[in-house]
Amino acid sequence: MAKNSYFLHGSQSEQRLVQDLINEQLKIYGLDVTYIPRKFVNKKSIIEEVQSSKFDDNFVIEAYVNSYDGYSGAGDVLTKFGMSLRDEVELTISKERFEDFIAPFMGASDDITLATRPREGDLIFFPLGQRLFEVKFVEHEEPFYQLGKNYVYKLKCELFEYEDEVIDTSIDAIDTQVQEEGYIATLKLVGVGRTATATAIRNTGYIREIFLNNDGSGFTGTPTISITPSPDGNLLANATAVAFTTERAGVRSIEKILMTNAGFGYTTTPLITFSGGGGTGAAATCSVDVSGAQGVVRFVIDDGGVGFGTVPVVTITDPAGGTTADKAVGIASIGIDINSGFNEVKSILIENAGKGFTLQPTVTIANPETISGIGTFEFNEIVQGMRSGTQARVKNWDSDTGILSISNVSIGGTITGFFVGEDVKGLSSGALFSVSVFNEDNTTDKYNEGDIFESEADSILDFSESNPFGTY
Asked whether residue 389 falls in the same domain as residue 435, the answer is yes
306 is a domain residue? yes
pLDDT of residue 36: 92
pLDDT of residue 124: 94
pLDDT of residue 42: 58
Asked whether residue 171 falls in the same domain as residue 246, the answer is no
- Per residue in 418-457, pLDDT (tens digit) is 988 888 999 999 888 888 889 887 655 555 555 566 666 6
444 is a domain residue? no
Asked whether residue 280 falls in the same domain as residue 252, the answer is yes
Asked whether residue 300 falls in the same domain as residue 213, the answer is yes
- Per residue in 311-342, pLDDT (tens digit) is 999 999 999 777 777 899 999 999 988 766 77
| Model confidence, pTM | 0.57
Containing structural domain, residue 119: 12-178
Domain finish residue from 119, 151, 178: 178
pLDDT of residue 441: 74
110 is a domain residue? yes
Asked whether residue 221 falls in the same domain as residue 331, the answer is yes
pLDDT of residue 343: 85
Asked whether residue 411 falls in the same domain as residue 286, the answer is no
41 is a domain residue? yes
pLDDT of residue 113: 57
3-class secondary structure for the chain? CCCCCCCCCCCHHHHHHHHHHHHHHHHHHCEEEEEECCEEEEECCCCCCEEEEEECCCEEEEEEECCCCCCEEEEEEEECCEEEEEEEEEEEEEHHHHHHHCHHHHCCCCCCCCCCCCCCCCEEEECCCCEEEEEEEEECCCCCCECCECCEEEEEEEECCCCCCEECCCCHHHHHHHCCCCCCEEEEEECCCECCEEEEEEECCEEEEEEEEEEEECCCCCCEEEECCCCCCCHHHCCEEEEEEEEECCEEEEEEEEEEECCCCCCCCCCEEEECCCCEEEEEEEEEECCCCCEEEEEEEEECCECCCCCCCEEECCCCCCCHHHCCEEEEEEEECCCCCCEEEEEEEEEECCCCCCCCCCEEECCCCCCCCECCCCCCCEEEECCCCCEEEEEEEECCCCEEEEECCCCCCCCCCCCCCCEEEECCCCCEEEEEEEECCCCCCCCCCHHHHHHHHHHHCCCCCCCCCCCC
pLDDT of residue 179: 79
**Band (386; pLDDT cuts 50, 70, 90):** confident
458 is a domain residue? no
353 is a domain residue? yes
Asked whether residue 80 falls in the same domain as residue 33, the answer is yes
**Band (74; pLDDT cuts 50, 70, 90):** low
Asked whether residue 354 falls in the same domain as residue 380, the answer is no
% of the chain beyond a pLDDT of 70: 83
Asked whether residue 131 falls in the same domain as residue 27, the answer is yes
Asked whether residue 338 falls in the same domain as residue 386, the answer is no
Asked whether residue 203 falls in the same domain as residue 153, the answer is no
- Per residue in 278-306, pLDDT (tens digit) is 999 999 999 999 999 999 999 999 999 88
Q: Number of structural domains, the chain?
A: 3
pLDDT of residue 335: 92
**Band (348; pLDDT cuts 50, 70, 90):** very high
pLDDT of residue 162: 82
- Per residue in 5-57, pLDDT (tens digit) is 777 777 888 899 999 999 999 999 999 999 999 887 655 555 555 556 788 88
Asked whether residue 245 falls in the same domain as residue 163, the answer is no
290 is a domain residue? yes
393 is a domain residue? yes
